[in-house]
Amino acid sequence: MSFQSPVWILISVLITAARSQVPGPSPNQSGTPPGPDLRSPEVATDGRVTFRLRAVNAKDVQLMMPITSKHARYLPGQGLPMHKDAQGVWSLTTESLSPDIYPYWFTVDGTKFADPDNPFAETGIVGGPLSFVHVPGPSSLSWEVSSVPHGNVVHHFYHSDLIGDDRDFYVYTPPMYDPVATTQYPVLFLLHGAGADASDWMTGGRVNVILDNLIAQRRAKPMIVVTPLSYGAANPGKRLVESIVKGFDALTASLLNELMPIVEKTYRVATDRDARAVAGYSSGGAQSLYIGLNHLDKFAYVAGFSTPLVALPGPGGGRPPLPLGEKWPPLDPALFSVAFAPLDAKASSRLRLLWISCGTDERILEHNQQFRDWLQSKNIPVKYVETPGDHTMMVWRRNLTELAMLLFQPEK
């Protein structure tokens, strides 16, 4: 296991930033010089958003966005059709959207493209870049940048001997963090979902902005947040499903024995269990529950957002999700007993907070309700939350906001 110096971290970040300015594949295959730069997306004062894409020879262009249909996030062909003008520019204007940050992309004759005219985007392990449109809202929304003190985000790299690859992680430090002071901070390990990478929570999730605002409002304790690459196998882009459903133990070992020591050596974090939390969304939620509930000696706060519990190792678990449209059967309760074998009423007394949440439109909602009921049958206290929405970052941003205000608070 190795750890790179701050100088090399800075050089790597600068190289990454320079590479991000290189344009990717263009949907314009006409062979003619491109026209004037387009403005896309364009957000009107009433919340309507206009998207534009120049694709002269395309036959079909669609906007893919969670708001356009329930599963547009996943299914090509389920988006909104765009219309082409005489210059080969395709466009679409939405209805008025509520203030939020929405992920989207285009499909051009069935091929996915991020918006080439929009710099607000993030990479991923699979599926290519994802674009975002910000519909501004009031400062009361936790993800809106405000005139408050801001923390820092640093990108780190290390080699995992246990998984067998080179990995990265991001660290948020709160405002006024002093690396040479004696103050120690609690730490939240925050895991992403399938297909995403370590940058996901910082880019689409806006965790640094959310924490800046909550800390300034004294609604959350100053804390350090670590967002690691959340796969338990090397080369997850080629082995995505295996990296998740077969990688729980490998990821657990790497996080506890490689990543956590690096963080504790590099940052002023408290090392007792009452100052540690682990949380995540989607597959990262399953991993967080598995890591945290099986290691209560390390974590007092454990949370899962929109957790696909069927991915857990155990009876009826350890498999990828069913295709969209197929009805989920109830889970075998033995899955929970096996996946969380150490969890009983006595062990649960060590939990400062166990959080389970799910979107009200999600097809995994009943599974999360079933897990809640199983926990309650074992007399294990759980904070259960249902948030309006589907399997999207709009739901998880709200979950994170509410969770952050509950972490590391004095016992009542």
pLDDT value, residue 325: 65
Residue holding tokens 């300034």?
A: 216
Residue pair 127/112 in contact (Cβ under 8 Å)? The answer is yes
Same domain, 323 and 184: yes
Sign of the dihedral through C-alpha 15, 21, 26, 31: negative
Tell me the residue ranges of DSSP E strands in 329-411: 353-359, 383-387
* Total domains in the fold of the chain: 2
Same domain, 264 and 395: yes
Same domain, 55 and 191: no
Q: Is residue 299 part of a domain?
A: yes
CA 326 from centre of chain:
25
Same domain, 104 and 185: no
pLDDT value, residue 37: 77
Q: Is residue 378 part of a domain?
A: yes
pLDDT value, residue 230: 96
Residue pair 78/105 in contact (Cβ under 8 Å)? The answer is no
Same domain, 79 and 197: no
The last residue of a domain, from among 70, 103, 135: 135
Q: What are phi and psi of 48, to 5 degrees?
A: -75, 145
Q: Is residue 297 part of a domain?
A: yes
Half-sphere exposure of 324 (CA within 13 A, CB side): 10
Phi-psi region of 317 (alpha: psi -120 to 50; beta: other; left: phi over 0): beta
CATH code (residue 348): 3.40.50.1820
Same domain, 128 and 193: no
pLDDT value, residue 388: 92
Q: Is residue 24 part of a domain?
A: no
Same domain, 118 and 156: no
Residue holding tokens 């040479």?
A: 180
Query: 21: which residues sit within 8 A by CB, 6+ positions away?
Result: none
In this structure, are strands 83-84 and 89-93 parallel, antiparallel, or unpaired?
antiparallel
Residue pair 223/187 in contact (Cβ under 8 Å)? The answer is yes
Amino acid at 324: L
CATH code (residue 69): 2.60.40.10
> What is the domain extent for residue 185?
152-404
Q: Is residue 316 part of a domain?
A: yes
Q: Helix, strand, or coil here: 312?
A: coil
The last residue of a domain, from among 135, 161, 180: 135
Same domain, 218 and 357: yes
Query: For residues 261 and 59, what is the distance between their CA atoms, to the nearest angstrom?
Result: 53
Same domain, 122 and 157: no
pLDDT value, residue 32: 38
Residues β-bridged to residue 104: 131
The last residue of a domain, from among 135, 160, 176: 135
Q: Is residue 411 part of a domain?
A: no
Query: For residues 273 and 294, what is the distance between their CA atoms, to the nearest angstrom?
Result: 13
List % helix, strand, coil for the chain (3-state, nearest 5). 25, 25, 50
Same domain, 54 and 169: no
Residues β-bridged to residue 376: none
Same domain, 117 and 188: no
Q: What are phi and psi of 277, to 5 degrees?
A: -135, 150
Q: Is residue 34 part of a domain?
A: no
For the chain, 412 residues long, the average pLDDT of each consecutive 10-residue run is 37 34 45 64 96 96 73 52 96 93 93 94 85 96 97 98 96 96 96 94 96 98 98 87 88 98 97 97 97 96 96 84 74 94 84 96 94 94 94 95 97 76
Same domain, 186 and 253: yes
